[in-house]
Amino acid sequence: MSRIDLDLAHAYKANPREDADYALLPLKMSFADGGAYALLGPSGCGKTTLLNIVSGLVKPSQGTVQFDGADVTARTPQQRNIAQVFQFPVIYDTMTVAENLAFPLRNRGVPADRITKRVGQIAEMLELSGQLDMRAAGLAADAKQKISLGRGLVREDVSAVLFDEPLTVIDPHLKWQLRRKLKQIHHELKLTLIYVTHDQVEALTFAEQVVVMTRGRAVQVGSASELFDRPQHTFVGHFIGSPGMNFLPAATAAHPAPGATVLGVRPEYVTLAAPHAPGAVVATVTQAQDIGTYWLVTARIGADNEAGATAPLLRVRLGAQEAIPRVGETAWFAVVGAHTCWYRDDVLIAAEAAP
Amino acid sequence: MKPVNQKAWLLILPVILCVAFSAILPLMTVVNYSVQDIISPERRVFVGTEWFKSVMRDDDLQGALLRQMGFSLSVLLVEIPLGIALALSMPAKGWHASAVLVLVAISLLIPWNVVGTIWQIYGRADIGLFGATLAKLGIDYSYTGSARDAWLTVLLMDVWHWTPLVALLCYAGLRAIPDAYYQAASIDGASKFAVFRFIQLPKLRGVLMIAVLLRFMDSFMIYTEPFVLTGGGPGNATTFLSQYLTQKAVGQFDLGPAAAFSLIYFLIILLLCFVLYNWMQRVGTADNAGAGHG
C-alpha cells in the first residue's frame, strides 16, 4: 500500500511534436494511500495508458512515477508489487481454478499452507469455492473474469490494485454484485484501487475520486458531486450526466460577460419561467419524451441563421407534475441560476448566482 | 425430426468425382496389382493374399521399417524442440522480424534433390566445407564409408531442411497470443520459464500438432535426399521404406509385391497418424474431462 505520485507525459511515437502525438499530455497527479479512484473517459483518451504506466507495463517517455516518494519509473510491475486486472479474462489454460488463483503467490514463494488459506478466502469472496478443482479453461467468460479478479486480489501486500474495465464481459446483474464486492473489499483491506472505465455510473458509484480524461488530458479530478455541479471543463459537463450539460453562447442568455463566453447549465437545473423573466430564454420545443419519472424536453433557441449555423438546442428535465410544453410551442426557460457555470475556451471561469 | 433431404448427395457429387479420380482409382490399381502376379503385359495370374504374406515375412522390409521408425522419431525429437527454440528467439516486430523470416524460410524453398546434392558436396572430405573441416579437426567422417555417418548426415540434412517449417508454424502461433497474457504474467511475477510452460506452450498446442503430423508423415516418406546422397547405403544403412519400395517396383519390376507393400506402407502411415493425432488431442484436455464437471 502506498501513495502514488505521477509527474509525466507519454508518447508512443519517438519524437512527439504536437499535442496529437501524445497518448498522455504532461500531467501531475497523486493517488492517496488507500483511496478508491476511477479513471473515466471515452475510448482512446489515454486512461489505459495511464494505468499501464502506474503498473509498470509501459514506461513513460518523460517524467517519473513515485511510490511513497521513491522513484519507481524504471522498475518492473513485479518490483513495484502491483496487481492488475485486464479488460478480457486472462487465465492459465492448463491450470485448475485454485492453481490460477495461487499462481501470483506461488511465484513469490509464499508458503503452501498460507497459499491454500488465502486462495480459499478469495474463492469464497468471489463465489468460486465450488469450482476450485475444475480446469479454468472450461469455464464461462464471467467465471474466467472472476478468476482474473481473484488473481488481482489474492496478494494482501500489494502497493495498489488496478482494474482496466474489468466488468466489460460480465452480465449486468453480476456487474452490480461484483462492483459492490470490490467496494466491500476496499473497505476491508484499505487497498489503493484504481479503476478504469468509460461508464460514468460505474465510475461514480465505485470511486471516491474520479479522474475525467479526454484526448490524453486529465481535465478534472473530483468527487461525484463536484463533477456534477462544478465541471471544470466543458468536456466534463458534457460527458457526465445523462443527458450532458447544455452549453449556450452567452449572448443568447443576455449575460454581460464579454468575449466568447459559454454558459453551462445541467438539464436538471433548467426550469420553466415566466415570459421575459431575467436569465430566461425563449425556445421552441422540438421534442418531448416521457422517461417515466420525468420528461425530457428538447427545445431550439431561435432559428438557424443564414450563415448556416444551427441554433443551439436546450435539453430540459422537467418533473411529470409540471405543465409540459407541447412540441411546436414556444416556452420560456430559466437558464441562469445558482447552478449555472461560465466557460471561456472550454475552461470554467466562474460559477455564480444570477446577475 | 428433420426431414431427410437426399438432394445433398448431388451437391457433394463433384467432390466424390474429384477424389475418385485423384485418389481412389489410382489406389485401386495398386490394389489390383497387389493380388496378381504379372508375368508379362498379356499374362497375369490371380494370387490372392500371397504377396502380402511374403512381404510381411520379408526381413529386409522389417529392417527398413525399423530404420524408418528410428529415423522419424529422431526427426521429431530434434526438429520440434529446435523449432520451438528458434521461434522463441526470433524477433517479434520491426524490420529484423521480416529479415529473419526470409532467412529462416530459405531452406524450405530448395528442392529435395538439390538439398541432397548440396549435402553430398558439403560433406565431402576433399572439397566440401563440412567434410573438410571435420577432417582438419581429426574427426574421421565419411558418409559413403560409415553407416553411422551416413545415417547422421541424412538426419542432419532433414533437420537443416525442415526445422524452419516447425519454427515458422510456432512463430505464427506465438504471434497469435494476445499481449494481455504476457502483461498478466508480468503482473503475476511469472518467471520466463513459467511464461513458456503455462502460456506459450499451451497456446502452441494446435500448431505443434500440425507440425508433428507434417514432419512425421514427411519424414516417413523420405526418399530423394538419401537417394541422391548415399543411394541407400552404405550397405542398407539409409535404405528407408520408400527406397526399398522403389528398388522392388522399379529396380526389380516386382509389381505385385511392391503393390502389396505400398498398401501396407499406406496403412502404417494412416495408423500412426491416427494414434499420434488422438494422443496429442488428449494431451492438455484429458484432465479437463477428468476433473469433474459437475
Q: Which of B188, B195, B201, B293 is the best residue to mutate to test the A interface, defined by the most A CB atoms within 10 Å of its own CB?
A: B188
Residues of chain A neighbouring B181 (CB-CB closer than 8 A): 90
Q: Would you state the pLDDT for residue B290?
A: 38
Cβ contact, residue pair B184, A78, below 8 Å: no
Cell of B14: 463433384
CA distance B176 to chain A (A): 14
- Per the structure, the count of domains in chain B is 1
Nearest to residue B60, comparing CAs of B240, B270, B268? B240
CA-based torsion, B276, B280, B283, B286: positive or negative: negative
Q: Would you state the pLDDT for residue B4?
A: 77
Give the architecture-level CATH label for domain A243-352: Beta Barrel (2.40)
Nearest residue in chain B measured CA to CA from A84: B187
pLDDT tens-digit series, residues B124-150: 888 888 888 888 888 888 888 888 888
Q: Would you state the pLDDT for residue B284?
A: 58
Cβ contact, residue pair B187, A84, below 8 Å: yes
Q: Would you state the pLDDT for residue B94?
A: 84
Residue B176 domain-assigned? yes
Q: Would you state the pLDDT for residue A44?
A: 81
Whether the predicted pLDDT of B120 surpasses 80: yes
A27: Cβ–Cβ under 8 A, 6 or more apart, which residues?
A6, A7, A8, A9, A217, A218
Which pLDDT band holds residue B232 (cuts at 50, 70, 90)? confident
Cβ contact, residue pair B187, A95, below 8 Å: no
Residue B122 domain-assigned? yes
Q: Is B188 on the interface with A (CB under 8 A)?
A: yes
Q: Where are the domains of chain A?
A: 4-238, 243-352
Task: Find out whether A128 and A150 touch, Cβ atoms under 8 Å.
Answer: yes
pLDDT tens-digit series, residues B51-108: 888 888 888 888 888 889 999 999 999 999 999 999 999 988 888 899 999 999 998 9
CA dist A256 → B69, B70, B123, B129 (Å)? 94, 94, 95, 92
Q: Would you state the pLDDT for residue B169?
A: 94
Residues of chain B neighbouring A147 (CB-CB closer than 8 A): none
> What is the spatial distance between Cα A268 and Cα A266, in angstroms, rounded to a whole number?
5
Q: Would you state the pLDDT for residue A259?
A: 60
Whole-model pTM over 0.90: no
pLDDT tens-digit series, residues A221-259: 888 888 888 888 889 888 888 888 888 887 645 445 556
What is the number of alpha carbons within 13 Å of residue B197 lying toward its C-beta?
A: 7
> What is the spatial distance between Cα A10 and Cα A23, in angstroms, rounded to a whole number?
6
- Where is B46: in which H helix or E strand? strand B44-46
Task: Find out whether A161 and A193 touch, Cβ atoms under 8 Å.
Answer: yes
The dotted CATH code for A4-238 is 3.40.50.300
Question: What domain range includes position B151?
Answer: 44-282
> What is the spatial distance between Cα A162 and Cα A82, in angstroms, rounded to a whole number?
8
Residue B10 domain-assigned? no
Question: Over chain A, what is the mean pLDDT?
Answer: 84
> What is the spatial distance between Cα A17 and Cα B234, in angstroms, rounded to a whole number?
70
Residue B231 domain-assigned? yes
Task: Find out whether A154 and A105 touch, Cβ atoms under 8 Å.
Answer: yes
Residue B35 domain-assigned? no
Q: Is B281 on the interface with A (CB under 8 A)?
A: no
The domain spanning residue B162 has which CATH number?
1.10.3720.10
CA distance A156 to chain B (A): 13
Q: Which of A49, A86, A148 is the best residue to mutate to test the B interface, defined by the most B CB atoms within 10 Å of its own CB?
A: A86
Nearest CB to B293 within list A55, A84, A134: A134
DSSP state for residue B145 in the 8-state scheme? T
pLDDT tens-digit series, residues B81-91: 999 999 999 98
pLDDT tens-digit series, residues B170-201: 999 999 999 889 999 998 888 899 999 999 99
Task: Find out whether B105 and B189 touch, Cβ atoms under 8 Å.
Answer: no
* CB–CB contacts below 8 A, A to B: 64
> What is the spatial distance between Cα A21 and Cα A13, in angstroms, rounded to a whole number?
7
Question: E strands, chain A, where?
Answer: 4-10, 24-31, 36-40, 62-67, 70-71, 82-85, 160-164, 193-197, 209-214, 217-222, 246-249, 261-265, 271-272, 280-290, 294-300, 313-319, 330-334, 340-344, 347-352
Cβ contact, residue pair B203, A93, below 8 Å: yes
Whether the predicted pLDDT of A266 surpasses 80: yes
Residue B19 domain-assigned? no
CA distance B183 to chain A (A): 7
Q: What is the mean pLDDT of residues A91-102?
A: 90
Residue B263 domain-assigned? yes
Nearest to residue A132, comparing CAs of B186, A142, A121? A121
Q: Would you state the pLDDT for residue B286?
A: 47
DSSP state for residue A233 in the 8-state scheme? B
Cβ contact, residue pair B184, A90, below 8 Å: yes
Q: Would you state the pLDDT for residue A134?
A: 87
Nearest CB to B186 within list A76, A95, A134: A76
Q: Would you state the pLDDT for residue B3?
A: 72
Residue B87 domain-assigned? yes
Chain Cα centroid distance, residue A239: 9
CA distance B212 to chain A (A): 20
Cβ contact, residue pair A103, B293, below 8 Å: no
Whether the predicted pLDDT of A350 surpasses 60: yes
pLDDT tens-digit series, residues A146-163: 899 899 888 888 888 999
Whether the predicted pLDDT of B165 surpasses 90: yes
Q: What is the mean pLDDT of residues B215-243?
A: 83
